[in-house]
Amino acid sequence: MTDTPETRRRPNARGRGEVLREEILAAATVMLDDLADDEALSLRAVARAVSIAATSVYLYFPDRDALVLAVLQRCHEDLVTTGDEAAAAAPDPAAALRARILAQANWALAHPGIYKVLHESTVHRRQGMPFKQTLIDRTTAAVQACMTTGAAPPDDPLTVTIDLRTAINGMLAQRINEPDLPWPPLAHQADRFLTKLVGLPPPPTP
């Protein structure tokens, strides 16, 4: 579509380039969550959503992969922060680990397309996402705290964390991809993983 005086965006004022970058990221985030597929994202469509020429996107992101990675890193930081905040409000290490897992699982179900791209994207397969190590580190520290305080039996915390993340990620992928299955409550399923894989006692029955 040819720009017209009515559709063409006015240039950002000097020093406002970061604002445009944020608008591009925000538009791409919404699209990726809707598409659930990084290959389906079009830089031209992102540009239209922000009312700029497609070539303007390249001033901030050299290609689609760079834009997708920037979106996913931002979203992953939000996911980690969500878990950190939930854990900080918990009264003890076991409750903190549970709160972290549930908060992050609920974040994933609220952003299913983004979560799917985080784990299944072609960008991930081509380039990797080293920033995802932060989530592993946080969870490993939380598992270690449970073992240190006796809330969970001693074991290798990293191995337990990988088992736990595998179970949680698999559960979320299934819930996102097969929403019509008769799923049990999320908290009940997560509690079973925490009991079987970490060794936390089951939460008291209400």
Q: Residue 7: what pLDDT?
A: 42
pLDDT single digits (tens) 84-115: 999 999 999 999 999 999 999 999 999 999 99
Close Cβ partners of 23 (under 8 Å, ≥ 6 residues apart) = 50
Query: How crowded is the C-beta side of 163, counted as CA atoms within 13 Å?
Result: 15
In a domain, 13, yes or no: no
In a domain, 84, yes or no: yes
Query: How far is CA 197 from its chain centroid?
Result: 22
In a domain, 101, yes or no: yes
CATH number at residue 131: 1.10.357.10
The pTM of the full predicted model, rounded to 2 decimals, is: 0.88
pLDDT single digits (tens) 136-174: 999 999 999 999 999 999 999 999 999 999 999 999 999
In a domain, 64, yes or no: no
| Residue 198, both tokens | 């970490």
Q: Say how many domains are in the chain.
A: 1
Query: How far is CA 27 from its chain centroid?
Result: 17
In a domain, 79, yes or no: yes
In a domain, 151, yes or no: yes
- Asked if 152 and 146 count as a contact pair (C-beta separation under 8 A), the reply is yes
Q: Give me the residue label for tokens 């699209």.
A: 31
- How many CB atoms sit inside 10 A of residue 157's CB? 20
Q: Residue 3: what pLDDT?
A: 45
Cα–Cα distances in Å, from 42 out to 2, 30, 37? 17, 13, 11
Rounded to whole angstroms, the Cα distance separating 128 from 173 reads: 19
As a whole number, mean pLDDT of residues 11-37 equals: 84
In a domain, 158, yes or no: yes
- Residue 173 sits in which domain range? 71-198
In a domain, 118, yes or no: yes
